[in-house]
Amino acid sequence: MFSLTANVFRRPTSTRGFASAALSSIGGSNGGVLSALSSRVGLPSGLGKAPTSILRTPASARFRGALAPRQVKYVKRHKGVIPIPVGGSVRGTTLKFGEFGIRIIENGQRLSAKQLTTAEDAIKRKLKAFKGARVFLRCFPDIPVCIKGNETRMGKGKGTFEYWATRLPVGRVIFEIAGAPGSPIRAELAKEILRIASSKLPCKMEFITPSTPPRLGRILVRDAPTPVTGVASIRPGTVPGQMTGHAEVPVEVTL
């Protein structure tokens, strides 16, 4: 099928040396020659092609099932501070998808993806007995946290990436659970399941239901009375708008 020169067989010290000499003599231009030679000396059949294991990076294989963003613009970010709801917003402090849930009742906390995954796995493990039960994660770790080694001198840039985290203020809902449509979970069982999940997190949590009022920081926001607007009739002997010290003269409102 093909002929090799005498120089190829001059020093057949090993199989590898024989294969390299044969390839150098034929130039690697004939695919049939390569396949025939590879079958004799044990060369890989896909010679010249990159193996599939090189195309898979260790990072993608390691964090494939982890709770992490798929793509970020910057790998390193500032540490930041826990947001404080100074504007009066109560968004994210009540249930939205489930029947029961837990939320933070102490100062804001920075939770890692591993902590959230551990708590979520504990909830799913207990919800296996309830067919069609669902769990909702109301936050997502999208903030990269970088650290430096112990006893490292100051300077020389930011540390290397360590884990993903999320910053949660006080009153923010973290987990919600719900039963299958038409078969809700009992409150006693839901409270016990969420208590186990709370023990996996490094902050104090509270059990909430759809009737639980929203929370503005550490304050529970009750339903404020609706302001009454209408035509005011002044009582005899009073002056409207008059200020006496720090108290205003009362004005009777009649609709």
In this structure, is residue 66 part of a structural domain?
no
pLDDT tens for each residue of 35-49: 454 444 444 544 444
- Give mean pLDDT, residues 60-65: 50
In a domain, 13, yes or no: yes
Residues 116 and 202 in one domain: yes
Same domain (yes/no): 104, 210? yes
Average pLDDT of 130-155? 93
Q: How far apart are CA 201 and CA 121, in angstroms?
A: 12
The answer to pTM > 0.75 is no
The H or E element spanning position 163 is strand 160-168
Q: Is the pLDDT of residue 153 over 70?
A: yes
Please state the domain count of the chain. 2
Based on the domain organization, do 106 and 39 belong to the same domain?
A: no
Tell me the CA distances in angstroms from 41 to 20, 57, 72, one per residue in order. 10, 31, 47
Cα–Cα nearest to 165, from 149, 179, 145? 145
Does residue 211 lie within any of the structural domains?
A: yes
112, 194: one domain: yes
Helices in the chain by DSSP H: which ranges? 15-26, 31-41, 52-55, 58-62, 113-126, 187-198
What is the residue-averaged pLDDT of the chain?
75
Instruction: Bin 29: left if φ > 0, else alpha if -120 < ψ < 50, else beta.
Output: alpha
For 155-211, what is each residue's pLDDT tens digit? 999 999 999 999 999 999 999 999 998 889 999 999 999 999 999 999 999 999 999
Q: Could you give the CA distance from residue 206 to residue 73 in angstroms, rounded to a whole number?
A: 35
**Residue 247 reports pLDDT greater than 50:** no
CATH code for position 210: 3.90.1170.10
Q: What is the pLDDT confidence band of residue 51, given thresholds at 50, 70 and 90?
A: very low
**Domain membership of residue 200 as a residue range:** 100-220
Give bridge partners of residue 161 from the DSSP assignment. 146
Classified as helix, coil or strand, 215 is strand
